[in-house]
Structures are given as C-alpha cells and as structure tokens.
Structure 1
C-alpha cells in the first residue's frame, strides 16, 4: 500500500447475479471533509457498526466503565477501535491536554484497527471531534504491534469491543493472549473486566426442523430421501452455535431448565486457549432437549456495578442485575446450538450433564441424561457429507415446499419423452426429484457453488432413491462457453432451479435472479418447447411498522458527547437522513427484527418472465394501508411461480422464516391510517414503482405517500 495523502487499496467485489468476482482498486484520501468512496460504503453498510453505535445502553455502559477506570494520565490501548468511540472516551476521561505530546510521552490513547476503510473513517471522526492530538490511530492488527516501534511502552489499560454473539468468534482469546504477552503491563486494568456465558435447555419444533432433516423427511410422502437412514448424517448443519434473535420464539420454546452459568472469561488476565466445564443441570419439565440457547453478560467495571446482557427479554427478569434497558439490537443476538437428531429425552427433575468445551474461537457442547449412558454429541463428517445452513435444512424438511416443487416438476415432465433436464443452480433436491419422477430423464448439473461436493453427495444417495448415477452429469465448462456438444448433442428440454445458490444466505432476495441470467446465457441450447421452472417471479411488497429495526439503522449524531454524523454515509444509515440522500435496501429476517406490524395489503409490484431472456423491467402499484400506525419502511420479497399454468407458487415472504426479505427503511417514519377511514391530514396509501436494471442487477424503489 502506498503512503502519503492518497491511499489506494484493493477490495474484493462479487456480483451474486452474474456470479463474477474481481479485485478492484478503491481510491481514498485523508481529506477529513470528504466522504469515503461508494464501494467502501456498500461494504461497510452491510456490517453491524451502525447498529452497534445506535445501541444506547452499550455506549452508556462503556462510557461509565471507562470514566471509572481511566482516572489518571497513562497509556491506553484500544484494540479493534472501529470508529474510535472508546478511544475518544478514554482520552476525554484521561484529560490529556490539547497541546501536542512529546513523542516519548506515555500519556497516550492508541487506537488499533486493521480494516483500512474503518481506519479512514476513524481518522475523520477523531479529527471532527478535535481528538487527533489525543488519539493515535494505527492501521495494524494488534498482534502486529511492537513496543518501541509502534507504541512507546506497554499499555496500562486495555479497552476493547471484539465480541460477537457467541463472544469468542472475533478472536477474543488470541487477541487477549497476545495483548497480555506483548502489549500490556502486568496486572492491567481492562474495560470490560470480565464476561460470563449462560445457557438454557429448550424444546422447540421450529429449531428441530433446522438441523434434523433425516427424522423430518421420514414422514414425508414424496418418496425422495435426501438423508437415507444408512447414510445419516450425509447432509447436516455445522456443529456450531448459530446467532439468532430468540425474543420472537418465546411462545414456541419450552424451557427445560433454569439458566445456568457455563464459562467465565477475565479480560484482566491471560485466558487459556482451551477450557472445559462439566455442569449438572436439573430438568424443570419433561420434554425433549432440541437445543442449548446461550447468551453472555459483560461486567464492564472491576467493582461489578456496570453490566450489559445479551439475554432475550423473557430471560432478563431471571438476571435482573444484568438486564440493561432491554432495547432490541441486531449486532448481538443469542446463540443456538442444535442437539443432534431428535434431541435428548428427559423427565422432570432428572439430572442432565452438559460438557461444554471452548476453543480459541468457539464453544460447543455434549450432553446426556443421568439415566441414559449415551452422550448426545456432534456428528462426525464423512467423505460425502454436505453442510448447509439451518434455514436450508428447514426448507428441505418442509412438506408444503417439497410438494409444490415436485408438483411443478411432475407437470413439466409428463409432456416430455426422454427429456434432457438442466439444474442451473445449487439445488440438491431437484436432481433426485427429476430422476424419481421420470426414469428416462437425463440430468445435467451446473452446481456453481457446490461443484464436486454436491455431485459426490448425489452419488451417495442414488441407490436409496433408485436412480443410476449414469443419468447425472456435472458440467465443468463455464456457462458462457457451453455448447450443444457439452449436452451430448441434445438441446435442453427442462431448465430448473429452486432458485438457490450456495452461500447466498445474506443477500437480498432478488440476487437469486442469477437464475434468470443463467437461463439467458443458455438460450442457444434450449429446445423450442423448453419448460422453465420457475416460469415467473413476482416482486411483492408490504408496508410495515419496524420501530426497532428503524432505530438501529438510524443516522448518527451525538454519541456520548462525540459527533458521529460523518459516519452516516459510509455506514449505510437509513433513518433521519438529509433529503438528498437515499437509504440502502438491506436483507433481514423480518421475523427477527423486534417489534413488527403489517400496515398494508400485500401487492405484486413487478413481474419477471423467466421464459424470455433477461431484460430490464419495471412495475407500479398503489399500496393501500389497512391498519393505523407508523410506517417505518417497506418489506420486499419474491414469490417464485414454479408452474404458471397451474398456479404452483412458493413464497419467500415474511410468513416464511427461512428466507431473508429486502427492507427499505424510510428516512422519516410516516403516520398512516386505514384507507377506509377519511382523515385529511393522514396518509392512506403509497404509490410505488420498482425498476430492475438487468445490466447492473440493481433494484431501485421509488415511492410517494398520498
């Protein structure tokens, strides 16, 4: 990287619709009045920085703890400094004079941040708040810092916020180990002071469906087995903790224990890389343990008066001292660890033994009941095993979804003799479904994300599903280069996709329109009467009240006395923006977004016709409000019309909790009323237009309240 006033960096850019990726140069400068380049804006706008900075309880807790801990001039080290908020808090608490410090002065705040776009933003914020003489910004990883080179002396105080929902996933342990070994004085002060993880045993059919496909599909009648009994667990989720908002699951969970303490991590001393805990838990009810729900509590000060908890609201009353103010936030969730298979059957008052293990970056569990000798532990992988997201496992467990897909494929195949079928996406369900329904079919697979792993998996389940692997072919040629020679001299009779692309879990719904792009690239080798599944896509919209989500994505102003307004553009702020700025559309599981309420009818805003080559298109709709309330934004999703003629549809809307929806938040919330009521000063409807640009794959949403 070059030095001087103009900095250049490379950033990895990926277009999920085209499937193409490249390294691009991002230009930047240190002019504190300029905003950071748009490519960095898009990158940082999908992170949790904005939500974290809008977490008032977190900000207040850190400020109170830093004010109590930094009581005299000394050397303070902030690791993973982000926007520099904690560094500026420490400098203010220390009361460093405004004059320029001598190079050897030990009264300094060192802000260490490795991510260059964040460093550039931090420098702007430090300058905006008049702290550039008090805070030294270093663009390095903390384990790259050298005492006597980067910093003058070991630090007396460590302030940090390198925590994820699991606590350890951002490298807390190795970071603390290196800091204590190389960067901190003996017996340093730290903010936070310690962290404690807690757990709860729960029964939940919703959570069970997200990992145990084998036992869920046994009851299904379509005859397709993605997880044959003899190969269980050939298809599974990773044995890890999954971040999830559990407030919305309160009515669907049956608690089978009281909360219990698991691990304690002290920031003020060097942690161990590996730790184990044996915990005996008394079951509070008869049931089946499907998951271990966990959260953590931060003790920020040494005296134990300032706490922050990530427990769900319905748990916090059991930990009253740690409750905080109960505000919803998205950057820290609870975690779910799935108990393999059907779970552990327990009786009331039975002793359950939990063996918890932590590595440097994660926590895992084994458990067993007092009267059951076999431990329930994570399944070991085999050479054919595929790991998918919990949401995808749940989709493949869903009887309705499978029925709709099988029905659409059946309707298409009944008109074809010895068809050549082409699976254009990463669906592992479609190939066995086609082979099961049509014994004379040949199936060619693109598998752009799964590739050989997916193909080996299909080989492993072929015998159980009674089809020959000779009927399958994995295409190695890039799709733009495919010719009729690659399809063995035959044109494609059936082109299918779910659509599903491996690794697309965090993208906006319309990024799955990559299916349309792929179909267009194959135009030259499609037969004249080719069937396309899905045949159409409908972009759907609903106006909603989303107070918690809107607040978490609101533009920044004063945060504990520090102006953060310069960060709004790069962090993708949505609410309270200047009139000239537009908020981004972001992917969320709407059901996990705190308080929500639908305020309008659900309408189709635009249609995509997959039977024709990809093209730009647009659509308009007048959305009428059906309820009174405050509108914070619009939720958008795609209904996939698998069979146009017979109306076979699957939806990725808010009712389906296994897909993320696209959310467009308003700059300013709008009070709306039912369109049947007549109040001249209230809004009854909104006129909307959506424009899809096939060249850039971007979706633009325009709206006007009337």
Structure 2
C-alpha cells in the first residue's frame, strides 16, 4: 500500500499456511500496522520494483565501459594463448554474461542470488539466443563450488562483477572479491573492473551541516535589534560525533556556493580487486597530508570513486560530480548535464565528528578509514597527536531517531521564521498548548514565548531526546511529555483544557508530504482534552501537482527495450508487472536533486479542512486545466502546503520555494521529499492548441491514503 524506498526499513514477511504470504508495514498516516494478503504466486514484486536495476541499465557509459573492459580482457587472454572462462558475479539481467559471449568467451558461468532476477536472466539469455552458452546458477558467489560435476567445472580466468554502491564497498565487494580470489579464480585471472579508487574532498559548509548538527533557534527580540535564544541545544547534541551513516547525495546538484573547498580531491583508498598487487583488507586506514586551500572550518568530506575497467587502466569510469569530473582530455566538466546520470552510484557526504578550525598556512592530515562495508573520516591537525580512529557512533540520540531530512527541517530558517511568527501571534500567558508530532522542538519555543503550560506527545524513540532539550532549556515546570497513547490521556492529567493544538507537522513514519496527515488522526483522538474554540494548527492542507519534464528521473520507470544490442523486453515486462502490483503510483523523491522543467503551472488538486472531524466518506476532487504549448511532459510533481492559519503568509510549502516559471527548472524545498507520478509514456504538447491535463485526487479516510490519477489529452 505504501512505497518503500532507499534506506527505508523493509516490510517483514510472514508465511501463513502453505502458499499464502502476508506482508506487514506501517501505515504512516493512521499510525497502524497493517497486514495484506499477497497472491499465492507472490514473487517478491516489491523487492523487484525497488531493485533499481532499470536506472543502472539506463547508464549507457557504464554499459559501454563494461563491454570494452570485457573485450580488451578477453583479447588479452587470447594473446596469452588461453581459453577464456568467465565468471559473472551478480549477473542481474544477464547483460554482462551475454557481452562476454559476444566478445568470444569459451564458457560463461553467471550467478544471481535474487531468484526473481535469476529467472529474468534465464529467460533473457534464451530470448537473445545465448541458451547453452551461459551457465546460470541461482546462488551467491560465496556458495559456489568448483570441480567436476559441481557449479563450476573449473576455476575462471576472467571475473566480471558489478557489486558496488555509493560507498563502493557497501554491497560486500570486499568479501566477494576475497572469496573469488581464494576459491573461484585462477592465480593469473583478469578482472573487469580491475581496480577502484576512492576520492575525498574536505569542505567547509554551514549549509550541509544543517543536515547533521542541530543549531540553536533564535529570534529578534520585539522592540530591539538583539537576538534572543529560544531553543538552546544540549551539550550532548553539540558534542555528539554524529552518525557514520553515509549521506548519499547527487553532488552535481549541490550549488557550489553551498561549500568552500578546504582541500583538492584526494585519493584515499585504492583497491586492487585481484588482491595480487595489494591485498584487499577488511579494515584499513590511510593518512593523506594536504595544504588547506582556505582558512575556516573543516565540516564535511565529499566522497566519490572511479573504476578502471581494463588491465592497463586505460578505460576509466568516474562517479565524480561534474566540477571534479575530467573528460578523456583531463578537462573538467562545466555542468551536471555533461556527465552520465546515476542514481545507483551517487556521491556522498560524510560529516566529521567535530568541525576543525583550519588556517591556510598550516598543513593538515585527512585520516580515512573503512571496515568491510563502510567508510568514515577525520582530520588530524597535529601529526604527533593521536586522534580517535573509531567509527563515529551517535551518543545523543538525535541522529538515531531523526533522518537527515528531519534534522534539516529542524534547522531550516524558512520554517523556523514561519513557526515563530505564528506562535508569537497566538501564544498568551493563559495558553495551554498540546503539540502533536515527533521531536517537535516548537514546543520549547511555545514555552519560551510565555505559554502557561505545554504538553507534548512523543514516541518512545524521540522521548529521551526531547527530555534533554526540556532540561537544558530549564522548562521542566512548563513542559510535560505525556505518556503513551494520547487517546488514553484524561483531562485530570492536565492543569486545564488545551487551548492551542499545534503540529509542525512531522512524524518519523512520514515518507510522502501528505503522510503527516497523521496529525489529523491524532487530533481526532484527543478532542476530549480540548477547550471549546481551541485554536488548531495547521488549519488546513492543500495538495498540489505540477506537470514537469524530468531530465533524468524518468529513467527509474522507463523501459529499456535494448541495451548495447541486447533485447531487454523480458526485464521490462518483469519490472512493469512488479511496479503495477507492488508500487503505489506515487513515490517519494528529494526533487531538488533531480532537475525538472515546469511544463505548466501548479494545480491545486485537493484541499482538506483540518478544523473539522475526519470525514466518514472519501473526499474527491476532479478537474482539468489547459496546458500551454510546453513540450515533453513525463511526470507530475506532487507536494502539500500546510496552512497554519487562514492568513496566506502563514503557509509552509513542501514544494517550490520560488515562483514557477514555464520551461525553467523548479527550485524545490530541500528539506522534504516530494512525490512523483511518472506517466507511462511521455507526452509532447508542443504545437498543440488544445492539450489538457485531467486529474482525479481522492482522500480515503478509512486508511488515510491519497490516490491520484492523471491523463493528458491532446
């Protein structure tokens, strides 16, 4: 029912009787766990739909360079006078195996542990005429056995593998290559790719730090020019080393004005995947000296990597952002449009345990560390002084209970300014406030602005963090965190009925912007605590849509048809079926990372009055709007505006933060994931005088879902 996406905890599976499968997942709007019976032929459609194979196979440079690496390596083995026996680890669609056969391999063994993809590869290999030429084994490579009558008759002398992620080693590349070297390959085997290099660049960036470290909340004191601190951040949060978890970003979409380079891009790890020239350690530390490019602070490390696809290192595949991405002549690219788009191999930001002051004339040392699956970094100022090499672990709790997106929201000046302005107008010395949400620090602001008392609802995950904020701000006498389910709280537990009910709104279960309608359901559970005429914030919500042309994001659902001359229709049908059966039509994406041109003006699809009770029947809105002579439309961008009060100035948008200009790229709120609805086929309205967008939007009160349907008619 609800989409799961990158880094979201996956649903659990429960086998029931013999052939039925139940799936369990949290409904982010109603807050309830819901079980759904899957069909008897359930084949893990959700997992297939989320596998991201399609976006990877749309990466033409990746495909071309794997093909060229195979061609060169097979030619090298032929020059040695050897037969060519290829092992393809994690074959996916079977593409690399078919490439190997086309390049002249004598035998190809392909393994794929994910059964639906193994079946897809088997059918695709047959459809392309390679039956009998590729031996497909539905196993992990570490489970393969070598010998007569076993999985592999002999060891392979050429390994091709694509087992990489944003961190290069996060999908288990180290274990995969070490096991292959020890058990599956000949001593002189060639590898495609042959090596990998990790690059790191130290930067100063207060903007990036908004996603990592909470900042105090201030306002200008009424009647003066002095700033007043409304929310003091506990030392436990300020001194916390944070989480080592990678913050994957499309760095090519990060404006260069957001950061100041402190170092040039530095090679920090080099992996020889064969393990012959240099072992592949499960743990390693490197020290790289550098001269700072500017004085200031070291806040974060930007990271990317490249691969050498052939044995001579002449065929390179770089994942660098455009401003660090050289072409074959060594020149840097001028824009993000000049490099291949990749959502499967993004770049990353790592936050230092503590910012470090730097001076341009004083050399520094970048200390880089990795274990078997992840990386982390630190800065050493004095080479004679020991620094902590341990992987950072969050000690304050905020990095555990809050996503990067949420931490950014808590630091967002635009949101803070609006919240404070609204609360300044509403809070009086008699106000009894109730906040609904997770880690709602505006409760601290309400108390500082003079509310008589503030009650908070917090889940078990955020309760400890919030209590630390209450304590350091010395508000234990004015703020109470209510225990358990709000519906079970009685008026006897309050000093007086609630006069202001406030939600930011945000919940840890929020994936799409309208999932925070959970605040409406929570409010419905505490009507018995509210005084007559109580003020309710937000008072209403509008759901908006905008026809767009995504530059690259459309590729996550677009069919492949053919890749490097190989028929991919089997795979296209598998993904299409999986998406239809397992996916909602809308999925969340941080659209500021994915350029899109406006092909129309925003359309309000539905408005809900949150001052009323939850309706018994579905609420629907249908309509149509004329489309301009715009060009290609391949999707709809979706978001919500939260109207805190009836004053238009008191509206918080999760969508465009600047007026939408036709044919121009949209500037999105960077602290929210918007929704995307991709059209099955792109529509070109160029030179059309009667194009119309027909829309239908339905809010279903029984489970809180919002359903969308869009059609463009010429």
**If the length of structure 1 is used for normalisation, what is the TM-score?**
0.82
Q: Secondary structure at 2:212's aligned position in 1?
A: coil
Tell whether the 8 Å contact from 1:455 to 1:474 is kept in structure 2 after alignment. no
Query: Are 1:357 and 1:364, in contact at CA under 8 Å, matched by a contact in 2?
Result: yes
Partner of 2:63: 59
Determine whether 1:87 maps to 2:97. Answer: yes
For residue 82 of structure 1, report the CA deviation from its aligned partner.
2.4
CA spacing shift, 1:625–1:463, aligned 2, 3 Å: same
- Cα distance in 1 between the residues matched to 2:612 and 2:423: 19
Q: Is 1:554–1:573's contact at 8 Å kept on the other side of the alignment?
A: no
Could you say which residue in structure 1 is the equivalent of 2:266?
260
**Superposition map of 1:670-689 within 5 A:** 670-672=683-685, 681-682=688-689, 686-689=693-696
Kept after mapping to 1: 8 A contact 2:250/2:593: yes
Q: Which whole-Å deviations, capped at 9, do the CAs of 1:329-358 have from their partners, x for residues lacking one?
A: 2221111122455553332x6422111111
Whole-Å Cα distance in 2 between the matches of residues 22 and 182 of structure 1?
Answer: 45
The whole-number CA distance in structure 2 between the counterparts of 1:611 and 1:287 is 49
1:154/1:549 CA distance change after superposition, 3 Å: same
Asked if the contact 1:237/1:393 (under 8 Å) is kept, the reply is no
Report the CA distance between 1:553 and its aligned residue: 3.7
2:379 maps to 1:367: yes
Match of 1:289? Answer: 298
Cα distance between partner residues in 2 of 1:58 and 1:666: 26
Seen in structure 2, the aligned counterparts of structure 1 residues 90 and 672 have a Cα distance that, compared at 3 Å, is: same
Q: After TM superposition, list the pairs within 5 Å mapping 1:15-94 onto structure 2.
A: 15-21=27-33, 26-27=38-39, 40-70=44-74, 75-94=85-104
- Whole-angstrom distance in 2 between the partners of 1:407 and 1:161: 52
1:640 pairs with 2:642: yes
Q: What is the SS of the residue equivalent to 2:256?
A: helix
What is the deviation of 1:26? 4.6
Does the Cα contact within 8 Å between 1:692 and 1:700 map onto a contact in 2? no
Alpha-carbon contact 1:289-1:346 (below 8 Å) kept: no
Q: Deviations over 1:114-137 (max 9, x none)?
A: x34433433443443344534444
Q: 1:136 to 1:225 in 2, by over 3 A?
A: farther
2:8 aligns to what? Answer: none
**Which residue number corresponds to residue 558 of structure 1?**
562
- Paired residue for 2:128? 129
Contact 2:28/2:509 (<8 A) preserved: no
Provide the residue aligned with 1:99 in structure 2: none
Q: CA deviation at 1:167?
A: 0.8
CA contact (8 A) 1:212 1:341 kept: no
List per-residue Cα deviations over 1:674-705 (Å, max 9, x = no partner). Answer: xxxxx6x3466534332233345142122334
| CA deviation after TM superposition for structure 1 residue 234, in Å | 6.5
Equivalent residue, structure 1, for 2:663:
none
2:236 counterpart of 1:231: yes
Q: Deviations over 1:367-388 (max 9, x none)?
A: 1457997969987643655443
Pick closer, same or farther for the CA change 1:12–1:75 going to 2, 3 Å: farther
How far is the alpha carbon of 1:572 from its aligned partner? 5.1
- For 1:639 and 1:571, locate their aligned partners in 2 and report how far apart those are by CA, in whole Å: 33
| Aligned partners of 1:539 and 1:605 also within 8 Å | yes
Whether the 8 Å contact between 1:542 and 1:600 is mirrored in structure 2 is: yes
Judge which range, 434-443 or 317-326, deviates more: 317-326
Say whether residues 1:160 and 2:161 are aligned partners. yes
2:255 maps to 1:242? no
3-state SS of 1:514 partner: helix
Contact 1:539/1:637, CA 8 A, preserved across alignment: yes
| Partner-residue secondary structure (3-state), 2:552 | helix
Residue 353, structure 1, aligned to residue 365, structure 2: yes
Equivalent position of 2:287 in the other structure = 278
Query: In the alignment, what sits opposite 2:223?
Result: none
Please give the per-residue CA displacement for 1:374-432, whole angstroms capped at 9, x wherever unaligned.
96998764365544333322222223312322343454544x946362x3321331332
Q: CA deviation at 1:277?
A: 1.1
What corresponds to 2:176 in structure 1?
175
Q: Structure 2: which 5+ runs fail to align? A: 1-12, 221-225, 657-667
Q: 1:623 to 1:202 in 2, by over 3 A?
A: farther
- Aligned partners of 1:236 and 1:386 also within 8 Å: no
Cα RMSD of the aligned pairs, angstroms, is: 4.0
